[in-house]
């Protein structure tokens, strides 16, 4: 810009001197009219060049000239054209100067924007440093939380082990309680049998109390006191009582007397109960053939010609069915409400004869359907109580054959065909495949349709689908007659 300014200054000086030179008269003469007498004749350019003199001489500032500067003033048209050219050049230089000034202003605005961007960049760097410090603090905090979580998990594991120990002790008590219950039941049965056999005639109550015998009885009468020994009556009751370790036996002890029908028997199954003349539905004492165990079950004598042994019931959600393998093996719940009879009991029951399975389903509108399979039994625990089913009949749709020949799976025993544990997702124990077309041991949801992350309700896929939790479910077995 400094060089352009110097150039511009030189042009101004040249134009100034040229303008002054064109307006002055010749040196040493007077200016007269063109026809005056005293007018002197202007020498020609050739004579001027010959004499070596010029009419006007100007010294241009800041120009390195070695001789005189001659200006021809004869033709005014030539001088005007040069002035016009100089003015055009001056105008062009002014325009250039304006462009330079505008460019300078633009560069100044750009410089201001650059400064603003630098300031914003500095603030952003400070913000990034602040966020980095905050992130570092969060990472440290998360690490501390992970350590705390591991500590809590260790405490939970310790508490779980203690709970398992308490549960083991509780089961030992349950075994003892079951033994006492079985002993009491056997004693009551013995008393009932002896009372039926004893036919006392012409005997007063006083003689029965005083002599504890009848003078004219066909047999010996006994009092209501339990006998001191039972070895000659039921030699295997003590060993059988040791096998009764499930929750079902515990829950039945508080049943109303009108529903407890364990005074008779024990029977092989509920069909045996029905054939013996007991046609009232209720709880009966069973003893499967070839099984050194006693068990109690609900016998359904009013449905489908009676004789049904109920192995599972869901009706109000009062019992949690999300249980362990051992609990599903031994059974749990309340025999007059929701309960699971037990896989081990089912194995021994279905081993003694050919049984059929009947599943009764009821929705929340009161509609009842059923699914029946003409063959049903379980493999032993060594084969994970594998399910064996026969041909399907009924109006509920077949949602159990898909589980045929599948092992039983619980939360702590994963025997299904899925990569994960179906019992974890379905919230129950079942003969899962990948995973379920039926889940009758799932979560009991009120109202039918339910919302859950997984299909974990009490459902039968062929009856309302997997997102509908049924209101009532009964699983029963009975002898299959061809």
Concatenate the DSSP letters of all residues of 432-459 into one string.
-SSS-SEETTSB--TTSB---SS--BSE
Assess whether the previous peptide bond of 435 is cis (omega < 30° from 0).
yes
**Phi/psi of residue 232, nearest 5 degrees:** -85, -15
C-alpha 189/C-alpha 285 separation (Å) is 11
Give the ranges where 198-310 is alpha helix by DSSP (H): 205-211, 237-242, 247-252, 270-275
Assess whether the previous peptide bond of 166 is cis (omega < 30° from 0).
no
Question: What pLDDT does residue 462 have?
Answer: 95
- The residue assigned the tokens 């325009």 is 95
C-alpha 201/C-alpha 186 separation (Å) is 28
Question: What pLDDT does residue 289 have?
Answer: 87
C-alpha 363/C-alpha 365 separation (Å) is 5
**Computed from CA positions of residues 162, 164, 168, 169, in that sequence, does the dihedral angle turn out positive or negative?**
positive
Could you tell me which residues are beta bridge partners of residue 428? none
C-alpha 344/C-alpha 328 separation (Å) is 9
Question: What pLDDT does residue 251 have?
Answer: 41
Cα within 13 Å of Cα(340), Cβ side: 26
C-alpha 33/C-alpha 73 separation (Å) is 16
C-alpha 476/C-alpha 376 separation (Å) is 10
Question: What pLDDT does residue 9 have?
Answer: 66
Q: How many CB atoms lie within 10 A of CB 240?
A: 20
C-alpha 353/C-alpha 224 separation (Å) is 38
Question: What pLDDT does residue 183 have?
Answer: 76
147: exposed, middle or buried (Cβ count in 10 Å: 0-12, 13-18, 19+)? exposed
Structure tokens at 160: 């779980």
Question: What pLDDT does residue 163 have?
Answer: 84
Question: What pLDDT does residue 82 have?
Answer: 86
Structure tokens at 89: 């050049």
480: exposed, middle or buried (Cβ count in 10 Å: 0-12, 13-18, 19+)? middle
C-alpha 217/C-alpha 204 separation (Å) is 12
Domain spanning 270-479, CATH architecture: Alpha-Beta Complex (3.90)
Question: What pLDDT does residue 158 have?
Answer: 83
**Per-residue confidence of the chain (482 residues) as pLDDT tens digits?**
556 566 666 666 676 666 655 544 444 444 444 444 444 444 454 444 444 555 555 555 555 555 555 555 555 455 788 888 888 999 999 999 999 988 888 888 888 889 899 888 898 999 899 998 989 988 998 888 888 888 888 888 888 888 888 877 887 787 787 778 777 767 777 776 676 666 443 344 333 333 333 333 333 333 333 333 333 333 333 333 333 334 454 443 333 333 445 456 789 999 999 999 888 999 999 999 878 888 999 999 988 888 999 999 999 999 999 999 999 999 999 999 999 999 999 999 999 999 999 999 999 999 999 999 999 999 999 999 999 999 999 999 999 999 999 999 999 999 999 999 999 999 999 999 999 999 999 999 999 999 988 899 999 999 999 999 999 999 999 998 76
Question: What pLDDT does residue 63 have?
Answer: 52
C-alpha 395/C-alpha 372 separation (Å) is 9
Could you tell me which residues are beta bridge partners of residue 475? 312, 359
C-alpha 377/C-alpha 477 separation (Å) is 10
Distances (CA, A) of 6 to 2, 20, 36, 62, 338: 6, 21, 46, 11, 110
Q: Where are the domains of the chain?
A: 270-479
Structure tokens at 114: 């650059």
C-alpha 387/C-alpha 174 separation (Å) is 29
C-alpha 105/C-alpha 447 separation (Å) is 79
């Amino acid at each position: 810009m400094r060089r352009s300014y110097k150039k511009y200054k030189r042009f101004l000086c040249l134009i100034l001197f040229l303008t002054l030179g064109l307006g002055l008269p010749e040196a040493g003469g007077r200016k007269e009219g063109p026809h005056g007498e005293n007018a002197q004749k202007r020498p020609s350019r050739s004579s001027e060049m010959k004499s070596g003199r010029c009419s006007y001489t100007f010294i241009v500032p800041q120009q390195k000239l070695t001789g005189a500067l001659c200006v021809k003033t004869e033709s005014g048209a030539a001088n005007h054209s040069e002035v016009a050219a100089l003015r055009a050049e001056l105008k062009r230089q002014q325009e250039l100067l304006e462009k330079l000034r505008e460019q300078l202003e633009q560069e100044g605005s750009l410089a201001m924007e650059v400064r603003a961007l630098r300031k914003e960049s500095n603030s952003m760097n400070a913000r990034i440093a602040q966020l980095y410090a905050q992130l570092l603090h969060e990472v440290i905090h998360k690490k501390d939380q992970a350590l705390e979580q591991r500590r809590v998990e260790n405490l939970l594991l310790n508490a779980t082990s203690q709970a398992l120990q308490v549960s083991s002790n509780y089961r030992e008590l349950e075994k003892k309680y079951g033994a006492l219950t079985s002993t009491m039941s056997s004693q009551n049965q013995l008393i009932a049998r002896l009372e039926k056999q004893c036919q006392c005639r012409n005997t007063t109550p006083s003689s029965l109390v005083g002599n504890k015998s009848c003078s004219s009885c066909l047999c010996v009468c006994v009092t209501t006191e339990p006998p001191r020994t039972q070895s000659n009556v039921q030699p295997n009751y003590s060993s059988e009582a040791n096998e009764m370790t499930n929750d079902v036996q515990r829950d039945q002890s508080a049943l109303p007397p009108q529903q407890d029908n364990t005074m008779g028997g024990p029977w092989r199954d509920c069909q045996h109960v029905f054939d013996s003349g007991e046609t009232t539905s209720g709880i009966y004492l069973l003893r499967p053939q070839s099984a050194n165990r006693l068990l109690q079950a609900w016998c359904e004598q009013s449905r489908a010609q009676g004789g049904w042994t109920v192995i599972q019931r869901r009706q109000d959600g009062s019992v949690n069915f999300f249980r362990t393998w051992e609990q599903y093996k031994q059974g749990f719940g309340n025999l007059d409400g929701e309960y699971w009879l037990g896989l081990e009991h089912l194995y021994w029951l279905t081993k003694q004869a050919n049984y059929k399975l009947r599943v009764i389903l009821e929705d929340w509108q009161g509609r009842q359907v059923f699914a029946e399979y003409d063959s049903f039994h379980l493999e032993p625990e060594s084969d994970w109580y594998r399910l064996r089913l026969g041909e399907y009949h009924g109006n509920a749709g077949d949602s159990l054959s898909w589980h045929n020949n599948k092992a039983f799976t619980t939360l702590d025993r994963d025997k299904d065909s899925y990569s994960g544990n179906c019992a974890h997702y379905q919230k129950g124990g079942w003969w899962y495949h990948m995973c379920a077309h039926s889940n009758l041991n799932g979560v009991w949801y009120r109202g039918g349709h339910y919302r859950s992350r997984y299909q974990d309700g009490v459902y039968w896929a062929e009856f309302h689908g997997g997102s509908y939790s049924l209101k009532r479910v009964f699983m029963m077995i009975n002898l299959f007659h061809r």
